[in-house]
Amino acid sequence: MAQYETVIGLEVHVELKTNTKIFCPSGTGFGGDPNTHVCPVCLGLPGVLPVLNKKVLEYAIKVGLALNCGIAEFSKFDRKNYYYPDLPKNYQISQYDLPIAEHGHLDISVGENEKRVGITRVHMEEDAGKLVHQGNISSTPFSLVDYNRTGVPLVEIVSEPDMRTPEEARAYLEKMKAIIQYTGVSDCKMEEGSLRCDANISIRPVGSDKLGVKTEIKNMNSFKALQRALHYEIERQTEVLEEGGRIVQETRSWDEAKGITMSMRSKEQAHDYRYFPDPDLVPMVIDRQWVDSIKESLPELPDQRKARYISDYGLPEYDAAVITSTKELADYFEDCLKGYSNAKAVGNWVMGDLSRLLNAGGMDITQCRIRPAQLAEMLRLMDQGTISGKIAKAVFEDMFQTGHDPEEIVKEKGLVQISDQGEIAAVVDEVLAANPKVVDDFRAGKDKALGFLVGQVMKVTRGKANPDMVNKMLKERIK
């Protein structure tokens, strides 16, 4: 069996979070009753004309800069002609040969390996509407169309065919999402369709520098789906070649439920889009000073933030990478630091208990009920000795479930740490008297015996005894 190498390139569509659509004043909000966020322009009524929303251009430039692209000095819009009912003009205003940004890159890491993936181009275009069916799509006698999404601004980001594994593709898409979220131009919610991804994938014998015939995979609605679909496609293509067959250049759709890709249309059935410059829009001459000012306004991006966490806070590289992987999590982390300056401690909690609880609940940080100020407060209670580390874990779980303030929980449940010398001494004496054999073991050099005694004291005090004091006192008395 021949050894094959996989070649993957991604086309990512990102909805830009502008207030109004790309070429008209209609709103862009997600949801809403069908055909309520529309006007004559986005409905493509006879006689209407598009006028570019300058914010879209600014955001597209921002994306280009964040992806290390060169920004065009001269750019224009073109019409992509094809018939589909969700496209009211039966052409999409897009960019063909003079996109707003080109020749960028994005760095990913998979395991220990770091890799630079080339960005071919970033271009602006309008989104299409949505077809809606009542009942079963194959038996319903008609389709309905909702034009709310029509004209919502998009950028399409095309990568070079630089990825070699589904894992790299996933890392690329995750990194893309993080970078764009950091720039603030999009929510990048895959489940709402504000981040969408198509993949071009081919395989070739290892050592060959000629690209194999590629297929384009669509309809992957999560990171996991992307990874699964690509693994499936590698297997499928390998099998075809192993059986002496040939890969057909075609567009395939990922079926999440069945876990397979299925042919949508072949190259022969591909559209001739008949691109030509849109005569309703004037070409754009991009002012360099404006680009410079957008560049200056770019926020700190994931890689920069990660580097800062390592150098300024001393976080381990892995922790810094995880915390900066989404803007929300990194912002959460920094908000905690406003109330509690020990970044390592905050990092441990975020990486540890917080991540564990979020994962267990299938949640992300935006759904977390613990506010950063509350986590900071809890850490201060620990420092002050009001609660022990062990108690803190319980308090934290309670906070996670209820969203209540830590002080409130501590008071309500009587979890204040016992640091009173006399109170602890009484319990210690009681435990020593009840466990003479264990005391002998400790004296005989069995260090583990001390742990048992500490545990007994904690049991009696329901975990509230100050562990340092208990340790110290036990050792003193046994000597």
Write out the residues near another protein by the rule CB under 8 A: 40, 43-52, 79, 81, 83, 85, 88-91, 143, 145, 272, 274-276, 279-282
Give me the least distance between CB of 149 and another protein, in Å please: 16
Torsion over CA: 65, 69, 73, 77 (sign): negative
Question: Tokens standing for 168?
Answer: 């790299």
Instruction: Considering the complex, state which of residue 45 and residue 248 has its C-beta at the smaller distance from another protein.
Output: 45
253's CB contacts (< 8 A; 6+ apart) are 217, 218, 219, 261, 262, 264
Q: Which is nearer to another protein, 259 or 276 (CB)?
A: 276
Least distance CB 201 / another protein (angstroms):
24
Distance from C-alpha of 124 to C-alpha of 183, rounded to nearest angstrom? 16
Is residue 330 within 8 A of residue 178, CB to CB? The reply is: no
Q: What is the dihedral of CA 319, 320, 321, 324, to 10 degrees?
A: 120
Nearer to another protein, 280 or 364 (CB): 280
Both tokens of 68, joined, read: 């290390």
Residue with smaller CB distance to another protein, 92 or 183: 92
Q: Quick one: the chain helix, strand, coil %, rounded to 5?
A: 40, 20, 40
Minimum distance of another protein from residue 103's CB (angstroms): 25
Nearest distance from C-beta of residue 337 to another protein, angstroms: 46
* Shorter beta-carbon distance to another protein: residue 3 or 138: 138
Minimum distance from CB of 75 to another protein (Å)? 14
Rounded Cα–Cα distance for residues 12 and 226 (Å): 12
Smallest distance from the beta carbon of 92 to another protein, in angstroms?
A: 11
* Smallest distance from another protein to CB 99, Å: 18
- Nearest distance from C-beta of residue 277 to another protein, angstroms: 9
* CB 18, CB 56: distance < 8 Å: yes
Q: Please say which residue, 145 or 416, places its beta carbon nearer to another protein.
A: 145
Question: Nearest approach, Cβ of 200 to another protein (angstroms)?
Answer: 20
State the minimum distance, in angstroms, from the CB of residue 280 to another protein: 5
Based on CB atoms, which residue is closest to another protein, 54 or 446? 54
Q: Is 348 exposed, middle or buried (0-12, 13-18, 19+ CB in 10 A)?
A: middle
Nearer to another protein, 50 or 406 (CB): 50
The smaller minimum CB distance to another protein, of residues 137 and 434, is found at 137
What is the identity of the amino acid at 61? I
| Encoded tokens for 323 | 């915390």
**How crowded is the C-beta side of 163, counted as CA atoms within 13 Å?**
27
Shortest Å distance, C-beta 55 to another protein? 15
Cβ neighbors of 288 (< 8 A, separation 6 or more) are 73
Task: CB nearer to another protein: give 97 or 364.
Answer: 97
The C-alpha atoms of residue 418 and residue 414 are separated, in whole angstroms, by: 10
Long-range contacts of 252-258 (CB under 8 A, 24+ apart): 252/215, 252/216, 252/217, 252/218, 253/217, 253/218, 253/219, 254/217, 254/218, 254/219, 254/220, 254/225, 254/228, 254/229, 255/219, 256/219, 256/221, 256/225
Rank residues 189 and 274 by Cβ distance to another protein and give the closer one: 274
CA torsion through residues 379, 381, 384, 386, sign: negative
